[in-house]
Each structure stands twice: as C-alpha cells, then as structure tokens.
C-alpha cells in the first residue's frame, strides 16, 4: 500500500556569518540580517575607463533580544564584572597599574584628562552563527574599562589633585560637586540599550570620529577592538596608556614608531573567557618620556 503523501517541511533559511569592513575601517563579524546594502561609488581606478557603482555592506547598531530590558542587561553586566574582578587577570593588571604609578610618581605631566574607549562592541546585541560570544566579550571588556578607571582614581591621587580642586557649584543648594575626568566610548554598533547601560556607568557615547580627536598625551586609550587603520590615526597623539593589542603583530610604521617609545606588560590569560583579552597588553610611556 503506498505511503500517504505528507506535506514537505518548509526549509528554514540559514544565515551565513559575514566579515564586514565598513568605510571607516571597522571589521565586524555579523549575520546577513545585521547588514544592509546600499550603493556606493567605486574608488576610481586609473586602469579602468568606466567606473560603475558597487554594493557595499554598511553596518547598523547591533540587534538586541526583543525582550531584553535595561535592568536585565545591568544584572548581566554585574555578573560579568564580578567574574572579572575575581580573576587572576585583573589581579595582575592592578599590579601593572601600580608599577606604572611608581614610575610616574615623581613626574609632572598634569592630571589624566580622559579615558577614550574605541571598538568595545555591543554588550546587548547578538550575532547569529558566531563561534565567539561577542556579547560576553564586550561585557568583560566593559568591566575591565570601569575597573581600570576606579583603580587609576585610587592609585594616582596626585594626578587627580587638579581635577578634585575644580568644583561645580549647584545653584539651588550651594553645595559643590567634584568634577572627574570623562570616559568616552565610540563604536558604530552601539544600540539604544548599549548607550543606556554605558551612560548608567558614567560613560559618554560619542559619534565617529569625535573620539579620535580627543586623545592627548594625558589620555588612556582603551582599544581592545580597534582596527589598524584607527590605531594609525590615534597613536601619533602619544597617549599615556594604551590597553589593547597586541600591537607588535601589526605591519605599520606608525605603530612601530609608537612601540619604540613605550613599555608593555602582558595580561595573563582570562580563563573565564580567553577570547575577551586574547594576547592583550598594557602599553605605557617609558620613564624617560614621562
């Protein structure tokens, strides 16, 4: 007896993981649903007589889970931060920061003016089919950023003396509120939840390319996800501390020039999520340069 015919199951379309480099040099791993294609003019080629427009992917803010709320995201971040602060990676990093403080103790270069974060990624957005959990990576890196700021505040009181003396008077009460150095974050994939989370931590999100213009010799550059093109833009400003890398593998004269004037300390592996700080270092100006 012939089998009863059964309706064919609808095939579920799979999304391929794409590696996308946008016009500003950012490289991202994303699914096809996270990019949109627009017409861009082709860069003129001297060997071609006719130039026709081509389609290039342009990134938009990362897509967050539809039911995720800010309180839930803050709870997730608190869990990641707790794991980070209990790790041997953070314990070693605090010792490195203390060594830098000792080297700089008798130097006068003025207080730190800002922490600039470039390429953090999206703490709330998700990408399908990726082999690394990018949300967790961003969460752990954000925890490192916040902890470094707190450690610097405790370790470098002399550098903060000018900032502490600057007071903001509140007209209604007459009270004064100490001003502190700002923390800026820039990444094209930030969505509204990311921005809300960062702002709740006292971090100001700014649009590309404003962050590049705010880096000085007294800045700390936190760039765990920065591309070579961006590093070549910011490292000539000679930031006092750079967290990221490894810079030694980059084929760039600009980056090699920066490395010639700095010391570095390697982070020990972060066992909870090794990809979050893979082979990263803490770079700082040599003693004679301070």
Residue 60's pLDDT is what? 81
- From the list 260, 253, 221, the residue with the least C-alpha distance to 237 is 221
CATH of domain 70-289: 3.40.50
User: In this predicted structure, what is the pLDDT of residue 133?
Assistant: 67
- As given in the structure block, the two tokens for residue 279 are 């082979």
Domain edges within the chain: 17-59, 70-289
> b/e for 247-281, b at 16 or more Cβ within 10 A?
beebeeeebeebbeebbbbebeebeebeebbeebb
Residues 187 and 129: their CA atoms lie apart, in Å, by: 22
pLDDT of residue 209: 83
What pLDDT, on a 0 to 100 scale, did the predictor assign at position 9?
53
* DSSP character at residue 90: H
| Cβ neighbours for 92, distance < 8 A, ≥ 6 positions apart | 267, 268
> pLDDT tens track of the chain, all 290 residues?
555 555 555 544 444 444 444 444 444 444 444 443 333 333 344 344 444 443 444 668 888 888 999 999 999 999 999 999 999 999 999 999 888 877 765 554 446 789 999 999 999 987 544 445 689 999 999 999 999 998 887 765 544 444 433 333 344 444 433 346 789 999 999 999 999 999 999 999 998 888 888 999 889 999 987 888 889 999 999 998 999 989 998 889 999 999 999 999 999 999 999 989 999 999 998 755 44
Nearest Cα neighbor of 24 from 198, 184, 183, 210 is 210
- Specify the pLDDT at position 290: 42
Residue-level pLDDT at 5: 56
Is residue 171 helix, strand or coil? coil
Contact present, 196 and 124 (Cβ < 8 Å): no
Task: For CA atoms 224, 185, 207, 55, give the dihedral sign.
Answer: positive
Stated as kind and residue range, the H or E segment containing 243 is strand 241-244
pLDDT at 148: 93
Residue 25, pLDDT score: 43
Residues 160 and 35: their CA atoms lie apart, in Å, by 43
- CB-based contact 81:193 (threshold 8 Å): no
- Say which DSSP state 106 is in: T
Total-model pTM: 0.73
Would you state the pLDDT for residue 225? 79
């Amino acid at each position: 007896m012939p089998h009863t015919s059964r309706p064919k199951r609808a095939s579920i379309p799979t999304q391929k993981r794409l590696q996308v480099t946008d016009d500003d040099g950012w490289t991202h791993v994303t699914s096809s649903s996270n990019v949109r294609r627009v017409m861009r003019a082709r860069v003129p080629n001297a060997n071609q007589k006719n130039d026709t427009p081509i389609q290039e992917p342009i990134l938009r803010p990362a897509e967050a889970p539809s039911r995720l709320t800010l309180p839930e995201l803050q709870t997730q971040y608190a869990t990641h931060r707790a794991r980070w602060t209990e790790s041997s990676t953070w314990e070693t990093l605090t010792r490195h920061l203390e060594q830098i403080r000792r080297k700089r103790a008798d130097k006068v270069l003025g207080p730190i003016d800002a922490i600039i974060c470039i390429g953090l990624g999206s703490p709330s957005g998700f990408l399908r089919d990726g082999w690394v959990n990018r949300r967790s990576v961003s969460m752990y890196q954000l925890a490192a950023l916040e902890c470094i700021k707190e450690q610097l505040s405790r370790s470098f009181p002399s550098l903060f003396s000018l900032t502490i003396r600057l007071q903001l008077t509140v007209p209604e009460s007459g009270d004064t509120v100490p001003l502190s150095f700002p923390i800026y974050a820039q990444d094209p994939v930030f969505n509204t939840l990311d921005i809300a989370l960062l702002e709740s931590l006292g971090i100001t999100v700014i649009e590309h390319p404003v962050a590049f213009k705010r880096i000085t010799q007294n800045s700390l550059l936190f760039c765990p996800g920065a591309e070579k093109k961006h590093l070549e833009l910011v490292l000539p400003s000679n930031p006092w501390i750079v967290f990221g890398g490894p810079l030694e593998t980059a084929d760039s004269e600009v980056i090699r020039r920066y490395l010639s004037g700095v010391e570095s300390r390697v982070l020990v592996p972060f066992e909870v999520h090794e990809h979050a700080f893979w082979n990263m270092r803490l770079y700082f100006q040599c003693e004679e340069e301070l």
